[in-house]
A and B are shown apart, each in its own frame.
Chain A
């Protein structure tokens, strides 16, 4: 089955720790995205990547880092510099051309304990 997979579904982080959220797609999509969603809020763009080995900051990149070494993978690291990381994180992908829809994973809920 083609799709986009995020893991884990739930993640707990101690203060001061870095954690990495996984996002994998087998849709052969060029573009991949990371969004953060706080309760009752919209999606805010953290980082996006249009091609392997290239990525751009979104609106709230501080305290986060990404890599894009393979087309199908776009992991997000939440660093200790992110002071309020508790949120729902969503990964998406789509073809990098005009007028295409995005496909989303099921999300990772990160909680700081």
Chain B
């Protein structure tokens, strides 16, 4: 079963705008991670937030985690056409050893 569920499924914005994607999960986690996938390629890790952290920044990325609501959000500020990709959240569950479970992803399109 999928642990993470992202919304929206697809998001289309103009260059320069901010993009926000959300992820919800079901069980207790050690951490939550966000990955990016360009079409037909492997995934690239963006950012990891631990269960005891509430917010984390990396360049134009900002991730929040609310463990009481079992949800996370990824904000990309000042988006660029090159940010066009699919974005996935992944959860590292407390009771599942090394298991890493991904959600369905959000397809982001940034129009020039």
Stretch of A13-21, A64-72, A97-105 that contacts chain B:
A97-105
A27 to B50, CA, bound (A): 23
A76 at the interface (CB under 8 A from B): no
Residues of A13-60 contacting chain B, CB below 8 A: 30-31, 33, 35, 40-45, 48, 50, 56, 58-59
A14 to B34, CA, bound (A): 36
Which listed residue, B30, B45, B101, touches A98 by the CB 8 Å rule? B30
Could you say which interface size class chain B belongs to?
Answer: 20 to 34
Nearest residue (CB) in A for B2 is A42
Could you say which interface size class chain A belongs to?
Answer: 20 to 34
Contacts of B98 in A (CB 8 A): 30-31, 48, 50, 94, 96
Contact present for A43 and B45 (CB under 8 Å): no
B87 CB to nearest chain A CB (Å): 11
Contact present for B41 and A106 (CB under 8 Å): yes
Stretch of B13-21, B59-67, B102-110 that contacts chain A:
B102-110
A90 at the interface (CB under 8 A from B): yes
Contact present for B88 and A42 (CB under 8 Å): yes
